[in-house]
Structure 1
Amino acid sequence: MSVSRETSDRLQIYADLLVRWNSRINLVAPGTVADLHARHIDDCLQIADLSKETDGHWADLGSGGGLPGLVLAIAKADTDLSFTLVESDQRKSAFLRTVIRATGLTNASVVSQRIESSPPLNAAYVSARALAPLRQLMAYLDRHLGPTGTAYLMKGRQWRAEVEEARKEWSFEYIAHPSRTQEGAVTLEISGVSHGAE
């Protein structure tokens, strides 16, 4: 994704803060810090490319180090989208709020609660990366995704097995978008979530 100078500057501020904080709290695997942009930031920007949305409420579940939620909020800062980053770890929540302040983002806020116990967000869009097996994520979508909403879930090579397992309990439509940064990985674009197997 080609980004504006302002977006690029904000992403650099985010990257610098992530490297600084990562020595104190585990935001990303230490071995991936040297390749932070390609391994993490560019990876998450794929969702910004896939989603053409320009307004509405977006919930990022289990935001951790801000992947993909903060990256998306930065990439979509010039739209009317508002982002809620849900993260139960207080230290990681503090990091997310620090980045929001440092980058001057006005479209993002942090909810420091567990995903399964925070009030339903009724979001138009939901994202998650490296959070949980798809079957578990479906329960989170059922709670926080609006009835006509779309989810963007980043999954590794075992995504087909996860879809098969999730379909035993959930009904949903999906499109698998191949990853440009990790061979075999995909972003699952999911809609029409309802409890009960098809």
Structure 2
Amino acid sequence: MIGQLEQAAARPVSRETFDKIRSYVNLLQAESRRQNLISATSAEQLWERHILDSAQLVRFEPQPRASWADIGSGAGLPGIVIACLVEGRVTLIEPRKLRAEFLAQVVSQLDLNAVVLATRAEKASGQFDVITGRAVARLSDFLQLSAHLSTRKSVWALPKGRSAQLELVEAQRTWQGTFHVEQSVTDPGSYIVVGTGVRAKQNDPHRGSQSKRRGR
């Protein structure tokens, strides 16, 4: 399994890192019996559907020790997996109390370089080198609720299903930047929207003051 993880992440994975991810899997499976973190169907393919799918996002890290924000982290996918694989601080943003408590437990037990913010993305603060989020909202809505956490240099790495290209076309009506769509390395039917220099267009009525605060 280490080989699969290295292939997905496109980087070496130590035994210590692998053991942390395996411990996370055990914690996730146990917690899923208490609250609905992952579906029963996907739980049967947890490694392929969730762990490797999350691990591939570290391919888009712009530099070592980059800071990450995982919006709507939920069960910790992809944020906990990313925190196991990268050196930089990962911020897990999750408004639901029970899920945030679970994430805090995992961060503590695995001694991860991560912090949990039990709040909605719109109320979170900070600026991050990489922003991600899995199954949170359509692309245009996701950019709207989290753009204030970005800078002009931030990389957005957003896993999407078959609708990736359609969502990107929709988002580009009100958002600009350099975007491209990458095919998932774990699922030929899924894609990842990658963006940099993302900002609201001048004529976007929702632009507000957020874009004025970006830049570093």
- Same fold, TM exceeding 0.5? yes
Q: Quote the offset at 1:52 in angstroms.
A: 5.2
User: 1:117 is matched with which residue: 101, 106, 123?
Assistant: 123
Percent identity, aligned pairs only, is: 31
One-letter identity of the residue aligned with 1:74: C
Runs of 4 or more, structure 1, over 4 Å off, are none
User: 1:153 is matched with which residue: 134, 151, 158?
Assistant: 158
Q: CA RMSD in A?
A: 1.5
Decide whether the 8 Å contact of 1:177 with 1:187 is kept in 2.
yes
User: 1:130 is matched with which residue: 135, 141, 144?
Assistant: 135
Query: Which stretch of the first structure deviates more once superposed, 14-23 or 173-182?
Result: 173-182
Query: Which stretch of the first structure deviates more once superposed, 183-192 or 159-168?
Result: 183-192
TM-score relative to the length of structure 2? 0.85
Q: Quote the offset at 1:183 in angstroms.
A: 2.0
Q: Quote the offset at 1:57 in angstroms.
A: 2.0
Decide whether the 8 Å contact of 1:168 with 1:197 is kept in 2.
no
* Unmatched segments (≥5 aa) in structure 2: 7-12, 204-216
Larger radius of gyration: 2
Query: Which stretch of the first structure deviates more once superposed, 109-118 or 188-197?
Result: 188-197
Aligned residue in 1 for 2:148: 143
Query: What do the CA deviations read for 1:100-136 (whole angstroms, capped 9, x no partner)?
Result: 112121x1000000111223x2111111111100010
Query: What do the CA deviations read for 1:24-56 (whole angstroms, capped 9, x no partner)?
Result: 111111211121111100011111233253123
Q: Quote the offset at 1:197 in angstroms.
A: 7.3
Q: Structure 1 residue 60 and structure 2 residue 67: aligned?
A: no
Decide whether the 8 Å contact of 1:13 with 1:102 is kept in 2.
no
TM-score relative to the length of structure 1? 0.92
One-letter identity of the residue aligned with 2:115: S
Aligned residues: 193
Decide whether the 8 Å contact of 1:167 with 1:197 is kept in 2.
no
Question: Going by fraction, where is strand more abundant, 1 or 2?
Answer: 1
Distance between the aligned counterparts of 1:160 and 1:23, measured in 2?
36
